[in-house]
Structure 1
């Protein structure tokens, strides 16, 4: 296929995202004020608790089966590799740029976590429908592509809310503890001394940690250490709505008895799947509009070091894609992945995506680095327009040549 045709095919999905994002920015303008800050926060809450988990449930349940999971086992591993490599590169960037402590978790998160959710669900079907696509018949491409994108979205949701959430939480907590007001001295009596909750009860409920005095029995101390360990892990947030949606979707798709009840034209409970699917359809446009509104804040600036923004762009659009090519070529050589051009394309594209938009949600939850996150997302998504198009065109050419 001609390189120009590949470039045009790769550019269409990116332009769709760009147009919806531009609309979100326009609606967020002060003179328009349809998508103001308070509206975005409320809409973000609806997306977080309703639209996103519904989208994950329906796509995973409909496209992932037990046999499919066996064939696609390498994809969760591949996504984990993107997080590990991105974290290492982010740590190097932190050593070079020396950012404030409260931004270190944000930088690591932006380098590690790509937008594995709504972008792939837009890009893959659009690529399949384009004339001259190298992935065969559009309907077959769409079916398999949605399975790959759904698994990617579900796995990414689990990793983001179990890893990125906690590194941002720890980073914001350390910056808070640096101020005298955030510290409380332990009591000298045998009473339990507790700090203020790490999160507001409105978001996730109170999460306290307690320190016991020196006079407490050793076994009680051990019990307290276990409690403290679980509070540090913050297991409740690992099971965020999207993560729960992924688990439910896997259960429906993998267990044949449940699948027959809910999936298919003759399924007795198909109305539940249809209703959930209707809710999930709102996730992508709503989240993309929120992206546009949040990116507008980045235009106003936040005083963040330019070297940090440039460094994240280089990590995500230069080093990660090059690393991905080496890893996928190695996986092909050792027979770890099957030689499906579309599957290879999805595995490769996972290394080229801009930072996950959920990082913006996480910074809003903790109030640490929210403005800086807007600047980072603004410029990474601006550069993603060219980067995603170029890398997508290259991977369309590269993938089939490896089969």
Structure 2
């Protein structure tokens, strides 16, 4: 029984740190204080999005993830993808069952699929290593691995988020603009340009063979329509979002970390250009507290309430804190049994399990701020999922530590 309480203490300390910073953000957003008001939060969001976030992802990846270490961590790519796929499927079912309004369906799917794979793991994992009674070995070595796991989790999660969750929220936000009477600019081109009719002689039984020019005309028509379709799909998905600032930071971090000369040049303490790497770390260190402060400020909106149904909020909580963790245990244990994950690396298994137990990604709030749609509903979702996060994360982390130790 004593060991259970020790594990509970180890698991609760990192979560409490996040809770304290969140509470500070909420306090700074109060009308009487008004340091993190709506305008300030919006500006800080943009700084995190364009500067702090990319620096954090890139510098940590460049420092901790090498080509050799990535080969042993490849299953994390699959694991995070599974969390997105299962979560979005459950979110789709939830939206159908609760008959959610069209403009928040994307928000529901994003909340169920995209977990907080960035700042929470990078706070929780090193903090667990430093606590007495941690089952993950010597603190300094554990912390180094914890940073590598958390950085890779952040990078992969960032790519998936801006490729998938960003786009479904963006597409859903069009409903809000339509309701406000704004004209949509994304009109499919093929609706404006119907198929050009072919010459009637093509369909005539006694018509002569097609000339070379006619054949070329048909080929040009087909190729132009295929190109047109691909252009429409590209516009609808907004594939440029894959190259969001955090994704670019992740790509740069991977390149520096996996190419040894670049890594020695920029990241080693004795490297000629180590000052650039150190600067990246300094800027990136601001991302976690700023993002968590923004979370606290956005929670204040949630306290004021919105029109979102309570059944929708309860459904998201059940998906994120019950269904996903239970399925995660089966998936990770199955991966160990199949040999995809080394059975002796219990720290890596803990990270994989943790990825199924996190509250919705804080970046969802950033996206709703950028599009100006669904902020109030998002704030309520963030409020209740993060109010429960300290309890649920602590319980699940304690259970995972007991399961693996």
One fold, TM greater than 0.5? yes
**2:362 is aligned with 1:382:** no
Output the CA distance in 1 between the equivalents of 2:174 and 2:181: 13
Task: Mark the runs of 5 or more structure 2 residues left unpaired by the alignment.
Answer: 197-219
**2:30 is aligned with 1:29:** yes
CA drift at 1:174: 4.4
**2:83 is aligned with 1:82:** yes
1:185-204 correspondence to structure 2 within 5 Å: 196=185
Structure with more of its chain in helix, by fraction: 2
1:59-78 correspondence to structure 2 within 5 Å: 59-78=60-79
CA drift at 1:374: 0.3
**2:294 is aligned with 1:326:** no
Moved more, 18-27 or 219-228: 219-228
CA drift at 1:368: 2.2
1:94-243 correspondence to structure 2 within 5 Å: 94-174=95-175, 176-177=177-178, 179=179, 181-182=181-182, 196=185, 210-211=189-190, 212-214=192-194, 218=221, 219-243=223-247
CA drift at 1:180: 9.5
- SS of the counterpart of 2:87? helix
Alpha-carbon deviations, 1:334-385, whole Å to 9, x = none? 1110121111110000000000010011112222211100000000000111
Root mean square deviation of aligned Cα: 1.6
1:248 counterpart (233, 249, 252): 252
CA drift at 1:86: 0.6
Task: Mark the runs of 5 or more structure 1 residues left unpaired by the alignment.
Answer: 184-194, 199-207
Q: 1:213 to 1:132 in 2, by over 3 A?
A: same
CA drift at 1:176: 4.1
The aligned residue for residue 310 of structure 1 is 314
Alpha-carbon deviations, 1:18-49, whole Å to 9, x = none? 00000000000000011111001111110110
Contact 1:60 1:250 in 2 (8 A): yes
Output the CA distance in 2 between the equivalents of 1:125 and 1:356: 20
The aligned residue for residue 10 of structure 1 is 11
Contact 1:209 1:231 in 2 (8 A): no
Moved more, 283-292 or 358-367: 358-367
CA drift at 1:306: 0.1
The aligned residue for residue 346 of structure 2 is 341
Output the CA distance in 2 between the equivalents of 1:104 and 1:175: 12
Q: Which is higher, the Rg of structure 1 or of structure 2?
A: 2
Contact 1:331 1:337 in 2 (8 A): yes
1:355-370 correspondence to structure 2 within 5 Å: 355-370=360-375
Alpha-carbon deviations, 1:108-154, whole Å to 9, x = none? 00000000000001001110000111111100100011100000000
Output the CA distance in 2 between the equivalents of 1:175 and 1:21: 29
What TM-score, normalized to structure 2?
0.90
**2:43 is aligned with 1:42:** yes
Q: 1:93 to 1:269 in 2, by over 3 A?
A: same
